[in-house]
Amino acid sequence: MGYLAFLERMGQVNDLLNAKSILNWDALTKMPPGGAETRAKQLATLSVMARDLLVADDTRSLLDKAEPEIAAKPADCVEAVICRQVREAIDYHLRIPAELVRKRAELGSIGHEIWAHARAASDFSAYMPHLTKTVALNREMAEYIGYEGHPYDALMFRFEPGETVATLKPLFAKLRDGMLPLLRAIAQKDAPRIDFLERHYPADQQLAFGLKMAEKLGYDLNRGRLDLTVHPFEVSFTRNDVRITTRIVEDWMPGSLFGTLHEAGHALYEQFSDPAYVRTPLATDLIGLYAVSGVSFGAHESQSRLFENQVGRSRQFWELNFGAARDAFPDQLADVDAEAFWRGVNRVKPGFIRVEADELTYDFHIMLRVDIEAALTDGSLAVKDLPEAWNAKIKEYLGLDVPDDRRGVLQDVHWSSGQIGTFCNYTIGNVMAGQLFEAANKDAGVASGMAQAEYAPLREWMTTHVHQHGRRFSRDELLVKASGRTLDPAPYITHLTSKYSEIYGV
């Protein structure tokens, strides 16, 4: 009885976080601008309530009673894992003052409207006061969390446990060594045509086609929906209600299409988690206080990047699915074949916008952001100097001169919600995607399905090795079980080298 009572209390924490997620989804999709201030207080209240319920004396008493009850069970059983994770989360949150949690939640909730207006006006100065407060709160939080090497390590722990500034340096170095020669060689080659991607694609047709492709990959519309937003995201309110969003640009079709596939990959992680984990800590990020099943943000990102890029941008995918694209856009694609379409959507061109970057330059955008966030966290970079530092990094990494704040330092939504420490997850996700996709394709059923435009075997393989486990195993435990080794960038580099050598003849 003790363990069941404890588990019900954890279900109540999950309920609060799901309610918070619903309000946040509404704020980013449907809420009128005038609701921002009061919505911020509502979200802050729910965050503090969830945290207070988690660390309450009676919750800790329930945990104290549950632990002896399951002590005879194996150390790796679900019950033991849940108890350990809750104990770790309670210890973590007790180090951080509740008032700091409230301030951060409230500041993050009002930040989206401030950022959106500043971005629209391309005016960093309008956003700077809010960001200054956000950085200060995160630096304060890092000190309470604690760290051994760099204060940024404490902030990354919330999103990618175990990753540090020290561990990222060699990973980034291997990626640069693998990608820079290829990028330089490609720069000397003629680029594929993309004129057909810049024709007029009506918004409703883009939404319909993107959703059709997402369903083909396995997204269940009985438990999901697609909406429009400024910055695409996925959010789940348990595995039974998992929603995705996209952004439409009517003269650039790939943005919405691949954004939809990206968010659908996230959604698959949530929709196909083990039903037994609903309302438990294995479907709840108790450290970050999110209702999410992914064991880390990087693991979650592995699924979005895998279904967007390894599958959705593959030659094989468009050889089999281009007919559906032409049916959806007969006029726009009348003079295009599958080969030209595949080459076009994989064109390499260094650009300013991370979410629109090609696969080969994408990780340079991430390295830039990690460098900057680490400098903001240790105080070596002041917020007021951020645009200059950003623009210098873009010049260093991609050789571009940033024309304005909208296409520079104001392009990402993350800081507006108070998130600092999460950007490394995108590159971790890319590397994991390469590793998992390589392992999955060793399965004959997966390979056969891919060759016939049947994606259920791949989705089922991912469910068996990733989705169903929720937060039960660590990121590296998942990787070892699925691929036989911990994080390894070699398959990802091989994937990029093979694809772009073929497209560009290098």
Q: Could you list the active site residues?
A: 263
Contact predicate 310/145, CB 8 Å: no
What does the alpha-carbon distance between residue 403 and residue 307 come to, in Å, rounded to a whole number? Answer: 32
Nearest to 257 by CA among 317, 300, 298: 317
Residue with tokens 């005879």: 72
What does the alpha-carbon distance between residue 245 and residue 227 come to, in Å, rounded to a whole number? Answer: 5
237: left (phi over 0), alpha (psi -120 to 50) or beta: beta
The C-alpha R_g of the chain, in whole angstroms, comes to 22
Residue 194: Cβ-neighbour burial (10 angstroms; 0-12, 13-18, 19+):
middle
How, if at all, do strands 224-228 and 234-236 pair?
unpaired
Residues whose CB is less than 8 angstroms from the CB of residue 18 and which lie 6 or more positions away in sequence, other chains included: 237, 238, 291
What does the alpha-carbon distance between residue 406 and residue 122 come to, in Å, rounded to a whole number? Answer: 4
| Count of beta carbons in the 10 Å neighbourhood of residue 281 | 25
Detail the DSSP E strand segments found in 144-292.
224-228, 234-236, 242-246
Q: What is the sign of the dihedral through the CA atoms of 284, 290, 295 and 299? A: positive
Nearest to 141 by CA among 130, 153, 149: 153
Q: What spatial distance separates the first Cα and last Cα of the chain, rounded to whole Å?
A: 65
Residues whose CB is less than 8 angstroms from the CB of residue 388 and which lie 6 or more positions away in sequence, other chains included: none
Token pair, residue 50, equals: 């969830």
